[in-house]
Amino acid sequence: MTAIPRTTAIDPASVDLRTRLGKLELPHPILAASGCFAYGQQFADFMDLRRLAGLSTKGISPKPRFGNPLPRICETSSGMLNSIGLENVGAEAFLAEKLPFLAELGISVWVNFFGEDFASYVECARLLEAGRGHGIDVLEMNISCPNIKKGGIEFGTVPEVAHRLTRACVEVTDLPIVVKLTPNVADVVAMADAVAQAGAAGVSLINTLTGMAIDVRTRRPRIATMYGGLSGPAIKPVALRMVHQVATALPQLPICGMGGILGGEDALEFIMAGACCVQVGTANFARPDAALVVLDELRARMADLGIGSVSEVVGCIRPLPPEAPRVDPAG
Amino acid sequence: MTALALPSQFSARVDVNRSLGGGYVVLEFSGVSGGALGEVVAGQFVMLRGEWGRELLNPRAFSVLWSEPDGRFAVLLKAYGQGTSRLVASPVGARVTVTGPLGRGFRPTDGAVTQLLVAGGVGLPPLHLQARQASARGQAARLELFYGGRDRDDLVLLGDFEAWGVRSVLATEDGSVGARGFVTAPLEQRLVDARAAGEAVEILSCGPTPMLAAVRHIGLRHDVPTWLCLEEEMACGFGVCLGCAVPVHGARPYQYCCSDGPVFEAKQVRWP
Ligand SMILES: Cc1cc2nc3c(=O)[nH]c(=O)nc-3n(C[C@H](O)[C@H](O)[C@H](O)COP(=O)(O)OP(=O)(O)OC[C@H]3O[C@@H](n4cnc5c(N)ncnc54)[C@H](O)[C@@H]3O)c2cc1C
Ligand SMILES: Cc1cc2nc3c(=O)[nH]c(=O)nc-3n(C[C@H](O)[C@H](O)[C@H](O)COP(=O)(O)O)c2cc1C
Ligand code: FES
């Protein structure tokens, strides 16, 4: 029999949601995910942004980018494919036009960034360093861009390359760098280890899974670039597995978990797998206040289960006990 | 193009689910706990999502058919894929999450120009609302409807235009009502006549993309200001996901259907 923890419901108001990612302290574990929250501003019409622990911006590159041909998105079972093409305003315009709004919010501002080659990654980290003390709290380095120039794929899939890239970016900024890893690898632990050794403050897990959808009437792919990034509940089991693998192998490395979080229970699963905070992505499209729904449900669910604090359940899951040994009277 | 009310997110319930025949359905909603769209510009839309669980994630876009200050509003739709099929089957009392009003709509008539409203299929609502609002301002005579469909059942809510005093030119592919063929034929004749009479006209159109493509060419060919209400696949509906790109001419290759549109000037759209 499995020992199931005692579950005496407690008062939701007494649940301590505080958490930390390395040195970064957060009032609770719920942030909004990159590419699913733009630069935050549009959401102000629908919700109190100050209730979020933080948000990750659309990926920023040194120069503005215009993005991919259309169609760029299509819905699939329990998820969606996207190939936006990392369209963004560029580092300079971000610092001048978008950051002041975010700085005012008083929440943790993570700037997701990438480069088109090695040098432009470093360039971007250097440019964004100017935002330290002016609103930027974390640089989230996206090394999992499926749709940038040749060679780009290596940043996210070859541990030595990721190591060198992370080291080079860490050297040009005093901001903590959280490296966002791609699930499109055979050994995610090797990638996490490589960037941790290079000075990453943590890892974000996971970016989208490469996928495809076909319109059988037209015999064409449903997004223009043929393959795109799959997100939403469809990828949650993969994301949980990766968070757990990294948390188990590298217990000192802080993890921000994401992939298909729609409700409080999803967030709690990620926390139990080993994430100290989580991001809500695709769910923001279903309803703009999705991240706050996750937050409210997380508190309620923890209270239900008698869990008094986030810190006591980060990475708490244990394997099932072994089966009883078999006795064969005939043998 | 103007946008008035700030968008909000609220819960609404289905008050009326009325079939118009031909597969068309009008869904009327009322906002729960004070939720309301407020003033809506013709062409603006809402994102609607029913209680769809985890399988069907994204909300779907619908042009607003009408909206009242008390929080009631309506959309016109037809079952197409998964989202619309579920909405069409909504019983009275069903709950939806609403985000809106979103986007930039058509500009109203200034009284000096005749607006030719060119509609097809579920593209009727923006033009229906434009006519309703013009009629409320006593300007119905400045509007004319060009409405095309496959057959008699494909033309709905005609009585409203008649009641408002908006002239209608109809066309059906099977010839069961109005001219036989596409409505773009009488539209083009109307432009020729306007040119001859020195009359100022502009085109406002919403409907299936092939129809909009034809209307765009006609507008460009006759050098008539033409506004198209476009449809692109959307995830968020308010400028966040960058999924709904529309190819345009100018400094940037794309604009966004949800936040820059859905109404675009024909000459701006980068189509073949
Ligand atoms: C601004 C705007 C206003 C709209 N107003 C109305 C309205 O008033 N009434 C109405 O009935 N519909 C309207 N639509 C269209 C409506 O949102 C679509 O019918 C809907 O997105 C399709 O959803 P579905 O779940 O039925 O189909 P799905 O199951 O999502 O899709 C089935 C197939 O259709 C394709 N598809 C999905 N969306 C579109 C699209 N928008 N255009 C072309 N192909 C698509 C998909 O790629 C898929 O292959 C509007 C769309 C937009 C963008
Ligand atoms: C439309 C869209 C755009 C995205 N853009 C970015 C991006 O610019 N940078 C990035 O690191 N991740 C990006 N992502 C990935 C998300 O941040 C997230 O890792 C992923 O979608 C999984 O979470 P979800 O299932 O909650 O969406 C994007 C996702 C979507 C759906
Ligand atoms: S639908 Fe998301 S940006 Fe337009």
- Nearest ligand to the C-alpha of residue B246? 3
Interface check A288 vs B, CB under 8 A: yes
Interface check A63 vs B, CB under 8 A: no
* B23 Cβ inside 6 Å of ligand 3: no
DSSP state at residue A326: P
Question: What whole-number distance in Å separates Cα of residue B203 and Cα of residue B224?
Answer: 7
Quick one: which of A327, A328, A317 has its CA closest to A2? A317
pLDDT digits (tens, 9 = 90+) for A318-328: 999 999 999 99
With 0-12 / 13-18 / 19 or more C-beta atoms within 10 angstroms meaning exposed / middle / buried, residue B268 is middle
Q: Do A67 and B245 touch (CB under 8 A)?
A: yes
How far from A318 is each of A76, A303, A314, A322, CA to CA, in Å?
A: 33, 21, 12, 12
A144 or A47, which is more confident? A47
Q: What is the pLDDT of residue B4?
A: 64
pLDDT digits (tens, 9 = 90+) for A53-73: 999 999 999 999 999 999 999
What is the pLDDT averaged over residues A75-89?
Answer: 95
- Check: CB of residue A255 under 8 Å from CB of residue A30: no
Question: What whole-number distance in Å separates Cα of residue B251 and Cα of residue B253?
Answer: 7
Q: Do A74 and B233 touch (CB under 8 A)?
A: yes
Residues of chain A positioned with their CB less than 8 A from the CB of B9 = 46-47, 287-289
Question: What whole-number distance in Å separates Cα of residue A19 and Cα of residue A8?
Answer: 23
Q: How many residue pairs bridge chain A and chain B with CB atoms within 8 Å of each other?
A: 100
> What ipTM was assigned to the predicted interfaces of this complex?
0.92
Q: What is the pLDDT of residue B2?
A: 45
Interface check B235 vs A, CB under 8 A: yes
Measured in residues, chain A has a length of 331
- Check: CB of residue A289 under 8 Å from CB of residue B9: yes
Nearest CB to B7; choose among A45, A74, A79: A45
How far is residue B24 CA from its own chain's centroid?
14
What is the pLDDT averaged over residues A64-86?
Answer: 94
Q: Do B8 and A77 touch (CB under 8 A)?
A: no
Residues of chain A positioned with their CB less than 8 A from the CB of B241 = 35-36, 73, 82, 84, 285
How far from A173 is each of A15, A107, A121, A124, A136, CA to CA, in Å?
A: 36, 21, 12, 10, 12
Q: What is the pLDDT of residue A148?
A: 62
> Going residue by residue through chain B (272 aa), what tens digit of pLDDT does each one get?
444 679 999 999 999 999 999 999 999 999 999 999 999 999 999 999 999 999 999 999 999 999 998 999 999 999 999 999 999 999 999 999 999 999 999 998 888 899 999 999 999 999 999 999 999 999 999 999 999 999 999 999 999 999 999 999 999 999 999 999 999 999 999 999 999 999 999 999 999 999 999 999 999 999 999 999 999 999 999 999 999 999 999 999 999 999 999 999 999 999 99
Interface check A286 vs B, CB under 8 A: yes
Q: For chain A, give the mean pLDDT.
A: 94
pTM for this predicted structure = 0.94
Question: What whole-number distance in Å separates Cα of residue A174 and Cα of residue A109?
Answer: 15
Q: What is the pLDDT of residue A151?
A: 59
Q: Do A285 and B240 touch (CB under 8 A)?
A: yes
Q: What is the pLDDT of residue B109?
A: 85
The first and second tokens of residue B196, run together, are 């001859």
Contact map slice: B 173-232 vs A, CB within 8 A: 232
What is the DSSP annotation of A45-98? GTS-GGGSSEEEPSPB-SS-B----S--EEEETTEEEE-----B--HHHIIIII
The first and second tokens of residue A93, run together, are 């315009």
pLDDT higher than threshold 60 for residue A115: yes
Residues with Cβ within 8 Å of residue B231, at least 6 apart in sequence: B61, B209, B257, B262
If one counts every other C-beta atom within 10 angstroms of the C-beta of residue A146, the result is: 19
pLDDT digits (tens, 9 = 90+) for A146-175: 556 655 678 999 999 999 999 999 999 999
The first and second tokens of residue A285, run together, are 């499209």
At A166, is the secondary structure helix, strand, or coil? helix
Q: State yes or no: is A145 an active-site residue.
A: yes
Q: What phi, psi does B176 have (nearest 5°)?
A: -70, -30
Q: What is the pLDDT of residue A150?
A: 58
pLDDT digits (tens, 9 = 90+) for A271-324: 999 999 999 999 999 999 999 999 999 999 999 999 999 999 999 999 999 999
Does residue B69 have a cis bond before it (omega within 30 degrees)?
no
What is the pLDDT averaged over residues A171-184?
Answer: 97
Nearest CB to B58; choose among A58, A66, A75: A75
